[in-house]
């Protein structure tokens, strides 16, 4: 496998997914129907991640609909307190970067949520660059993010490896001719990279 570019997903690969934890607690605190709330949240989050609405507006709409008092900015700050790094994976990313590999990220986030991530972590310690969905108004698994990174770093699809925990995202990347790895844990990822002489 001749690889020039490695694209990492972030949530559930390099960091935990903060939203499920927070939404569970939020619904319990305000005695909300979790299934209904989650469905409405997911519809709004998809719109926010392509820049149609902001993260703050997402929460303004939900708070209004469910008649819950709250400050959208504070809610986002509190949600991001639930986010933590998967150090084992990030150590692998750093090792790849040190070896001279072009390592980047592709993630779905709205601008308000992403500003909290960027405030907590300096991702340049790990990655050369990356794309967040709101920046290009397209979410994974649409092809835009993949192809922008491939073009930006002068790689071909067949010279690119994409690592994600979502089978749907993996399949779409594969359709573009990109090599893929379905992430389950850092130990297995490390073994895969060593076997393929990437680490």
| CA dist., res. 87 & res. 12, Å (int) | 12
Same domain membership, residue 170 and residue 138: yes
The number of domains in the chain is 2
Same domain membership, residue 47 and residue 122: no
Global confidence as pTM: 0.95
Same domain membership, residue 102 and residue 179: yes
| CA dist., res. 66 & res. 177, Å (int) | 44
What range defines the domain where residue 93 resides?
A: 5-15+85-195
Decide which of 60, 80, 100 is a domain's last residue. 80
Same domain membership, residue 11 and residue 23: no
- Nearest in space to 164 (alpha carbons), one of 176, 187, 182, 147: 182
Same domain membership, residue 187 and residue 113: yes
DSSP 147: H
Same domain membership, residue 93 and residue 72: no
Same domain membership, residue 148 and residue 137: yes
Confidence of residue 141 (pLDDT cuts 50, 70, 90): very high
Return the number of other C-beta atoms located less than 10 Å from residue 64's C-beta: 9
| pLDDT exceeds 90 at position 1 | no
| pLDDT exceeds 80 at position 142 | yes
Same domain membership, residue 35 and residue 92: no
Digit-coded pLDDT (tens) for 84-138: 999 999 999 999 999 999 999 999 999 999 999 999 999 999 999 999 999 999 9
Same domain membership, residue 135 and residue 73: no
């Amino acid at each position: 496998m001749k690889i020039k570019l490695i694209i990492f997903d972030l949530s559930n690969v390099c960091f935990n997914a903060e939203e499920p934890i927070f939404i569970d607690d939020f619904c319990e605190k305000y005695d909300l129907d979790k299934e209904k709330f989650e469905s409405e949240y997911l519809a709004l989050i998809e719109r926010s991640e392509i820049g149609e609405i902001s993260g703050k507006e997402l929460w303004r709409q939900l708070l209004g609909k469910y008649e819950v008092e709250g400050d959208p900015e504070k809610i986002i700050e509190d949600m991001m307190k639930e986010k933590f790094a998967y150090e084992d994976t990030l150590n692998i990313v750093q090792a790849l970067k040190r070896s001279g590999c072009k390592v980047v990220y592709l993630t779905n986030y709205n601008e308000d949520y992403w500003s909290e991530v960027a405030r907590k972590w300096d991702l340049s310690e790990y990655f050369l660059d990356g794309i967040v969905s709101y920046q290009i108004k397209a979410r994974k698994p649409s092809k835009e993010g993949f192809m922008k990174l491939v073009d930006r770093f002068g790689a071909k699809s067949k010279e690119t490896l994409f690592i994600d925990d979502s089978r749907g995202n993996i399949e779409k990347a594969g359709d573009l001719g990109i090599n893929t790895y379905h992430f389950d844990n850092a130990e297995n990822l490390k073994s895969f990279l060593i076997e393929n002489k990437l680490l």
